[in-house]
């Protein structure tokens, strides 16, 4: 394996089914299977999942919710998704633990990087819920923070597109894919990969980001084997 310890970032929307809301078991099962395929080979895996399939703080604020409270509601949504992933992994025989950014003892332990690393080294998948624990920060920022904290070798951003393109490939058929980018190039080209806070955390801490299609079975294993199926930023 090219990478020994990774942080996988998934959007909350990736867990949705055709209803456009909530959690579809088949989707969670797919991602859990992908994670299991690399855990079985000794890779240490941390996971961060967004909460947009249940509640998004920014959207709540646009409808009248206080942004601070809306973001807290979104953080709770990420914990629900973390619990769903934990259940799917455990059903497959993979040890998994939910670590939360704020106290919610009946669900998971409070995050500390020492505890997270301890779990990873024991072969347990560490699922980080609650974002950064603070309003006004996205789960992309939470993923960047956790990746740096656990000293991951790579932060993977799983999407429905197979990398970073010159334009949205779903809208522009002439868009071409980048195989490699520097952080400076991505910034200069104004490529929307992660929010600026997350991007800056990764750049300042030399945390490489790999963007790939997480919906295709076997792709996570391909990335970790070094196959060039997505876009690497470093």
Q: What is the CATH number of the domain that holds 79?
A: 3.40.1160.10
Interaxial angle between packed helices 139-149 and 113-121, expressed in degrees from 0 to 180 and rounded to the nearest 10: 70
- The total of structural domains in the chain comes to 1
pLDDT at 91: 97
Considering the domain boundaries, does residue 187 fall inside one? no
Does residue 221 lie within any of the structural domains?
Answer: no
| CA within 13 Å, CB half, 25 | 3
Q: Average pLDDT for residues 131-154, to the nearest whole number?
A: 95
Report whether pLDDT(208) > 70: yes
How does DSSP assign 76-93, residue by residue? HHHHHHHHHHHHHHHHTT
For residues 42 and 57, give the distance between their C-alpha atoms in angstroms, rounded to a whole number: 36
Average per-residue pLDDT for the chain: 92
Q: Where are the alpha helices (DSSP H) in 170-230?
A: 183-188, 196-204, 219-224
Using 50, 70 and 90 to split pLDDT, how confident is the model at 223? Answer: very high
90 falls within a domain: yes
Residue at 14 is within a domain: yes
Residue linked to tokens 């980080």: 128
**If you average pLDDT over residues 206-220, what whole number do you get?**
96
pLDDT score of 141: 95
pLDDT over 70 at 67, yes or no: yes
Q: Is residue 104 part of a domain?
A: yes
Q: Output DSSP code: residue 124.
A: P
Distance CA 100, CA 102 (A): 5
What confidence score (pLDDT) does residue 80 get? 95
The domain of 51 spans 5-164
Residues composing the chain: 234
Domain-embedded: residue 177: no
Cβ–Cβ under 8 Å, residues 91 and 22: no
Q: In this structure, is residue 32 part of a structural domain?
A: yes
Which residues, other chains included, contact 234 with Cβ-Cβ below 8 Å and sequence gap of 6+? 180, 182, 183, 206, 208, 209
Taking residues 112-135, what's their average pLDDT?
A: 95
The answer to whether position 109 is within a domain reads yes
Q: Is the pLDDT of residue 195 over 90?
A: no
pLDDT: which is higher, 186 or 107: 186
Kindly state the greatest CA–CA separation across the chain.
50
pLDDT-derived band at 61 (thresholds 50, 70, 90) equals: low
pLDDT in tens, 146-180: 999 999 999 999 998 899 998 888 888 888 999 99
Q: What per-residue confidence (pLDDT) applies to 60?
A: 65
**132, 142 contact by CB (below 8 A):** yes
- How far, in Å, are 18, 147, 224 from residue 198 at the CA level? 29, 10, 22
Q: For position 41, what pLDDT does the model report?
A: 96
Angle between helices 196-204 and 139-149 (to 10 degrees): 10
């Amino acid at each position: 394996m090219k990478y020994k310890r990774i942080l996988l970032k998934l959007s909350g929307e990736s867990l949705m089914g055709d209803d456009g809301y909530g959690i579809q078991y088949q989707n969670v099962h797919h991602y859990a299977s992908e994670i299991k395929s690399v855990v079985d080979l000794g890779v240490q895996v941390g996971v961060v999942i967004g909460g947009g399939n249940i509640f998004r703080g920014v959207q709540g604020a646009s409808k009248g919710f206080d942004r601070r409270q809306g973001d807290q509601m979104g953080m709770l949504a990420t914990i629900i998704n973390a619990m769903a992933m934990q259940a799917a992994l455990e059903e497959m025989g993979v040890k998994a633990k939910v670590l939360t950014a704020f106290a919610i003892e009946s669900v998971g332990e409070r995050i500390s990087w020492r505890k997270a690393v301890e779990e990873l080294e024991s072969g347990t998948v560490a699922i980080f819920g609650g974002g950064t624990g603070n309003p006004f920060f996205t789960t992309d920022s939470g993923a960047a923070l956790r990746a740096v904290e656990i000293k991951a070798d790579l932060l993977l951003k799983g999407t429905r597109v197979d990398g970073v393109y010159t334009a949205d490939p779903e809208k522009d058929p002439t868009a071409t894919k980048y195989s490699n980018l520097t952080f400076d190039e991505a910034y200069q080209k104004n490529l929307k990969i992660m929010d600026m806070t997350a991007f800056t955390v990764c750049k300042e801490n030399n945390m490489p980001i790999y963007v790939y299609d997480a919906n295709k079975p076997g792709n996570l294993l391909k990335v970790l084997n070094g196959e060039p199926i997505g876009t690497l930023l470093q």
